[in-house]
């Protein structure tokens, strides 16, 4: 019994070693692959020709008018260099590459850190233009999850992304700007990073706008200028039907 088992065991071992054990033999044939390797697939190798396209080139040129992520189109009103006639091809004072602004360097503007700590403050001048840019960028990049008022009720939440945080939370309101900058740049827990999509300047614009949103939802009556306060009081006194936004929902039902 034991002898029979040993014999079978030895033979089986030899067979297994013979099939699987030896390596290094060259063969022109494609090896067996139970799980196909992605090295062998239909694809165009870099810089190699292909008959598929009319011009025979494998690598394709970018489609006309393609712009890299984060690139801002040069503004027509930019001044040209002194002494250079203002033609379309004339060199601009600022090289276009300066406009592609992703994190470089270790300063506060690029990392949100001052030394080892999160810094706070918006390191660019706050202008109306910046706020508008921030609003637009927030609505594009953040509102899908965090909602238009940053209350954490964006459409992604309706579809099951339950961990979306409200940015109206006191903790986030008190959070250093630099830490928020870092969350946008590198992500945090279940939020992925937006550092590769949102250029540095836009990240600061978004944070400036986010601060305005937070203020708007947590303002006291004392923050409102007196003449505006009087208008608000009047609006409060009106019956609820007169308020905009109440009617369309009611009509649908």
- Between 50 and 191, name the residue whose CB sits nearer to ligand HEC: 191
Distance CA(187)–CA(142), nearest Å, equals 12
**142 near ligand HEC, rule: CB under 6 A:** yes
DSSP string over 191-247: BPP-TTTS-HHHHHHHHHHHHHHHHHHS--GGGS-HHHHHHHHHHHHS-GGGSTTHH
Is residue 114 involved in binding ligand HEC (CB under 6 A)?
Answer: no
The smaller minimum CB distance to ligand HEC, of residues 108 and 135, is found at 135
Question: Counting contacts by CB under 6 A, is residue 208 touching ligand HEC?
Answer: no
Report, in Å, the least distance between residue 237 CB and ligand HEC: 37
Q: Which of 130, 180, 200, 213 binds ligand HEC (CB under 6 A)?
A: 180
DSSP characters over 30-81 = PPP-SS--TTSSS-PPTT---SSSTT--SSPPPPTT---TTPPPPPTTPPPP
- For ligand HEC, the closer of residues 108 and 145 by Cβ is 145
Q: 56: burial class by Cβ within 10 Å (0-12, 13-18, 19+)?
A: exposed
Binding to ligand HEC (CB under 6 A) within 151-170 occurs at 156, 161, 163-165, 167
Minimum gap (Å) between residue 122 Cβ and ligand HEC = 13
Query: Which residues of the shown chain bind ligand HEC in the complex (CB under 6 A)?
Result: 141-142, 144-146, 156, 161, 163-165, 167, 172, 180, 183-184, 188-191, 194, 198, 206, 210
């Amino acid at each position: 019994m034991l002898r029979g088992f040993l014999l079978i065991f030895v033979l089986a071992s030899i067979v297994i070693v013979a099939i699987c054990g030896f390596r290094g033999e060259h063969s022109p044939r494609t090896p067996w692959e139970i799980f196909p390797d992605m090295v062998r697939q239909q694809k165009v190798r870099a810089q190699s020709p292909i008959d598929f396209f009319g011009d025979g080139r494998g690598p394709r040129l970018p489609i006309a008018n393609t712009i890299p992520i984060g690139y801002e189109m040069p503004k027509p009103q930019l001044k040209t260099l002194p002494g250079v006639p203002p033609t379309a091809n004339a060199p601009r004072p600022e090289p276009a590459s300066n406009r592609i602004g992703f994190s470089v360097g270790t300063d506060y503007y690029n990392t949100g850190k001052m030394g080892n700590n999160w810094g706070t403050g918006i390191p660019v001048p706050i202008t109306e233009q910046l706020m508008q840019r921030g609003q637009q960028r927030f609505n594009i990049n953040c509102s899908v999850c965090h909602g238009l008022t940053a209350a954490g009720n964006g459409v992604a939440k309706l579809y099951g992304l339950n961990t979306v945080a409200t940015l109206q939370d006191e903790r986030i309101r008190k959070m250093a700007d630099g830490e928020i900058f870092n969350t946008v740049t590198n992500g945090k827990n279940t939020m992925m990073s937006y550092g590769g999509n949102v250029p540095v300047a836009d990240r600061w614009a978004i944070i400036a706008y986010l601060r305005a949103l937070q203020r708007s939802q947590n303002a006291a009556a004392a923050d409102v200028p007196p003449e505006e306060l009087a208008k608000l009081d009047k609006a409060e006194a009106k019956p609820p039907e007169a308020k905009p936004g109440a009617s369309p929902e009611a009509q649908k039902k």
